[in-house]
Amino acid sequence: MMKKISLKLLSTLLISILLIGVGSFTWSCNSSKNKMEDKQWFSKGEWLNELPLKAHSSTNQEAFEKLYKANPVLWKKAFQWMKDTDLEAIDPGTYVIEEGNLKAIVSDAPAPALEQVKWEAHKYFSDIQYIVRGKALMGVAPVSEASVSEAYDSDSDVAFFTIEGEYYTAEPGSFFIFTPEEAHRPGIKVEGFDTVKKVVIKVRAKKAD
């Protein structure tokens, strides 16, 4: 009798382990498939709306895709503005594309030194940052791994952080996308390029609380 019970328990246990294993494998396969689909969506570049530029390889593709698909009309407007505007000729200033949700800030000025630029991140807006003329360094790091050095200011939608991140050279031809998940240290001076023309497009990521 005890043998029969033990065998039943063993069989039940083995079946349970097998089912858990199959479930985990299925979840893993689905997760890998979703990540592959995310990469394919990003690399196809249809979201660029025929803008003849490319997104920098540092882009957080998963975070960007979620934001884009949550509000494709707004992102299309952003890329359309970049496509339709003569970025080389446009004057420095702020250009409202959609009131409260989308604006472009154009600057043409000396780039600051590394020690003058803080790590920052935003809560309600993503940044598209593009160097139109010259070169600059862009620092990128996960905001989840950063320590707050200056608390969030709701008026300017920014908090400042301390973190060690990766640095990339920004130049004409490719733009950077910083979602609220990325701390960034943007527009740092590169030797030999004293003046840099830069476009920053602020794209609303979520509505204010």
pLDDT at residue 141, rounded to an integer:
98
Give the pLDDT band (50/70/90) at residue 51: very high
Residue 153 has pLDDT above 70, yes or no: yes
pLDDT tens digits, residue range 24-37? Answer: 555 444 544 555 66
pLDDT tens digits, residue range 162-174? Answer: 999 999 999 999 9
Q: Say which amino acid occupies 87.
A: L
Residue 89 has pLDDT above 90, yes or no: yes
Residue 108 has pLDDT above 80, yes or no: yes
pLDDT at residue 14, rounded to an integer:
75
Q: CA 150 to CA 147: how far, in whole Å?
A: 9
Reading the block at residue 99, the tokens are 């009131």
pLDDT tens digits, residue range 56-81? Answer: 999 999 999 999 999 999 999 999 99
* pLDDT, the chain, mean: 90
Residue 199 has pLDDT above 60, yes or no: yes
Residue 49 has pLDDT above 80, yes or no: yes
pLDDT at residue 31, rounded to an integer:
47
Residue 19 has pLDDT above 70, yes or no: no
pLDDT at residue 8, rounded to an integer:
72
What is the arithmetic mean of pLDDT over 132-138? 98
